Amino acid sequence: MAIVGIVPAAGSGERLGTDGPKAFAACAGRPLLEWSLDVLETVCDRVVVAVPAGYEHGADRVRGAASRSASVREALRAAPEATVAVVHDAARPLVSRVLVQRCLDMLAAGGCDAAVAASPMSDTVKEAGNDGTVVRTLPRAGLWSVQTPQVFDAAALHRALGVDDAVLAAATDDSSLVEAAGGVVRLVEAPPENLKVTSTVDLALAEALLGDRELRAAARG
């Protein structure tokens, strides 16, 4: 079995307000991307990163595509040996080895094509029209907010990504493509700190949590 990490890191970072790509923005003294790589490299046999044009220097860096899922497709193509693909967003720097391993274990147990990190919805969710008028309130029970890591049978992910670029561009995550292809996806509950850095507020919170984690690690020796 070959476990390959796939990190789509070609996003522009416009919402974060950075001068360059979001994955390379400073977070607690390091590029945001490096926090995820530290964890993935302890679990995966290899990690391939899809980066913006001009950032392809170094091993296992491939040029990203116009959409997130298309970038995942490019990175997966660069690792034909993969039997298991661990897809993780560079914008989630607080991922833990424990969470990745739990997703891997869920996939290995059989009966599914993907095991994805997620958290149960805690907020009330409403559907609204274009003018902001509420159409209905959705029952919260059974609703989950999907995150990464997302661990796939690599063959199933290959098949799911074999659609045209317009479909890939419309996908909000890769597990939805596997669902659409008839695959079975199971959820693995993630801890609250597995947040995604989208705004400056998220970045400040991530830096505080990472700093605390580093202090606790140093105290343990």
Q: What is the DSSP letter of 139?
A: P
With a CB cutoff of 8 Å and minimum separation 6, the contacts of 142 are: none
What CATH number does the domain containing 203 carry?
Answer: 3.90.550.10
The backbone torsions φ and ψ at residue 183, rounded to the nearest 5 degrees and listed phi first, read -80, 160
| Two structure tokens written together for 209 | 């949590």
Q: Which tens digits make up the pLDDT trace of 184-216?
A: 999 999 999 999 999 999 999 999 999 998 888
With a CB cutoff of 8 Å and minimum separation 6, the contacts of 92 are: 36, 147, 148, 194, 195, 196, 197
With a CB cutoff of 8 Å and minimum separation 6, the contacts of 175 are: 114, 116, 146, 150, 152, 185
Q: Which domain holds residue 174?
A: 3-219
SS3 at position 202 = helix
**Backbone Cα Rg of the chain:** 17
Is the predicted pLDDT of residue 16 greater than 80, yes or no? no
Instruction: Specify the residue for token string 């996806």.
Output: 185
DSSP secondary structure, 35-103, as one string: HHHHHHHHH-SEEEEEE-TT---STTEEE--SSHHHHHHHHHHT-TT-SEEEE--TT-TT--HHHHHHH
Question: How many domains is the chain partitioned into structurally?
Answer: 1
Closest CA to 9 of 66, 100, 84, 71: 71
Q: Which tens digits make up the pLDDT trace of 43-89?
A: 999 999 999 999 998 889 999 999 999 999 999 999 999 999 999 99
| Two structure tokens written together for 198 | 């989208």
Q: Which tens digits make up the pLDDT trace of 87-107?
A: 999 999 999 999 999 999 999
Q: Which tens digits make up the pLDDT trace of 158-193?
A: 999 999 999 999 999 999 999 999 999 999 999 999
SS3 at position 188 = strand
Q: Which uninterrupted H or E stretch holds 29?
A: none
